[in-house]
A and B are shown apart, each in its own frame.
Chain A
Amino acid sequence: TQLLEQSPQFLSIQEGENLTVYCNSSSVFSSLQWYRQEPGEGPVLLVTVVTGGEVKKLKRLTFQFGDARKDSSLHITAAQPGDTGLYLCAGAGRGSTLGRLYFGRGTQLTVWP
């Protein structure tokens, strides 16, 4: 059973388009993190959201944590080829240590020039 469901699994778009990636669960998380992973590399942290309803922006990336802290979304505006990569969401349960994260399967994003 997958604790965190990410959708879509694959996304292929043209440069300049907008996109949204979803991360859903029936469980409540104390925090949720978004990572980006390149082929043959480890994940790199993009953002951590902690408070229900929280919205964080990182340049053209907007992250939102659901009010109930069960889901999150990542929105990219005017995507660029450099945004290509695997985007992973990861949730931390209540009382969990930092490394005990539950990862989604990821969304593979390809942005064509």
Chain B
Amino acid sequence: GAVVSQHPSWVICKSGTSVKIECRSLDFQATTMFWYRQFPKQSLMLMATSNEGSKATYEQGVEKDKFLINHASLTLSTLTVTSAHPEDSSFYICSAPLNEKLFFGSGTQLSVL
């Protein structure tokens, strides 16, 4: 099946710093990608829809200025958590659709100290 690569797998950072997470579709093009957040023992919650060549669409309650999304090419979307704080610590997952199916990245565990 299709492969979505997410990097890094885990990151530890200091409070106040910014962290960039990359999501790549390896063998197909994705004009749309999705970013989710998963807290321990909670559901995956959709944060935003990343659109190639245009602005991302954010879900209600998700701060646009805090979670910057860039989809500069048909195979790459990035999520930057700006001025990260401990409450931003979570598991972040991206996905990309292909042929009416969603393929997920392996996730990024972010820990903010």
User: Which residue from chain B places its CB closest to the CB of A43 in the assembled complex?
Assistant: B104
The answer to whether B107 and A100 have CB atoms under 8 Å apart is no
The answer to whether B43 and A4 have CB atoms under 8 Å apart is yes
Q: Could you tell me the distance between the alpha carbons of A54 and B36 in the complex, rounded to whole angstroms?
A: 28
Number of residues of chain B lying within 8 A (CB) of chain A: 26
What total count of A-B pairs have CB within 8 Å? 58
Number of residues of chain A lying within 8 A (CB) of chain B: 23
Q: Could you tell me the distance between the alpha carbons of A2 and B44 in the complex, rounded to whole angstroms?
A: 11
Give the A-binding residues of B (Cβ under 8 A): 4, 6, 9, 32-34, 36, 41-46, 49, 93, 95, 97, 100-107, 109
A–B Cβ pairs within 8 angstroms, 15 of them? A33-B102, A40-B109, A42-B6, A43-B44, A43-B93, A45-B103, A88-B44, A99-B32, A99-B46, A99-B49, A99-B97, A101-B46, A102-B43, A103-B36, A103-B44
